[in-house]
Amino acid sequence: MQPVLSYLDRLGAAARIEDVWQMFCAEMERFGFDRLLYGYNRFCTEHNVGPWKDALILSNIDRSYLKKFIEEEYYKHAPLSEWAMHNAGARPWEVEGSDAADIGEARARVVALNRAYGLLAGYSISFAPPAPRTRAIVSMCARPGMSQQEVNALWERDGLLISVIANMTHLKIISLPHLNERACLSPRQQEVLNWVADGKTCQDIATIMGVSMGTVEKHLRLVREKLDVETTPQAVLKASFWNQMFVLKG
Q: How many domains is the chain built from? A: 2
pLDDT in tens, 6-57: 999 999 999 889 999 999 999 999 999 999 999 998 877 777 777 777 788 9
38 is a domain residue: yes
Q: What average pLDDT does the segment 69-95 reach?
A: 87
CATH code for the domain in which residue 67 is found: 3.30.450.80
Q: Are 130 and 32 in contact (CB under 8 A)?
A: no
Instruction: Say what the pLDDT of residue 90 is.
Output: 96
Hey, which residues does 140 pair with through a beta bridge?
36, 123
pLDDT in tens, 216-227: 999 999 989 888
Instruction: Say what the pLDDT of residue 137 is.
Output: 94
Provide the residue range defining the domain that includes 66.
2-175
pLDDT in tens, 84-121: 888 899 999 975 444 445 568 888 899 999 999 999 99
Tell whether 155 and 212 lie within a shared domain.
no
Tell whether 110 and 74 lie within a shared domain.
yes
72 is a domain residue: yes
CATH code for the domain in which residue 199 is found: 1.10.10.10
Tell whether 21 and 113 lie within a shared domain.
yes
Tell whether 86 and 32 lie within a shared domain.
yes
Tell whether 194 and 145 lie within a shared domain.
no
246 is a domain residue: no
Tell whether 102 and 78 lie within a shared domain.
yes
Q: Are 41 and 136 in contact (CB under 8 A)?
A: yes
Q: Tell me the three-class secondary structure of 164-211, residue by residue.
A: HHHHHHHHHHHHCCCCCCCCCCCHHHHHHHHHHHCCCCHHHHHHHHCC
Tell whether 46 and 144 lie within a shared domain.
yes
Give the end of a domain, one of 175, 202, 222: 175
Out of 57-66, 91-100, 188-197, 229-238, least confident range: 91-100
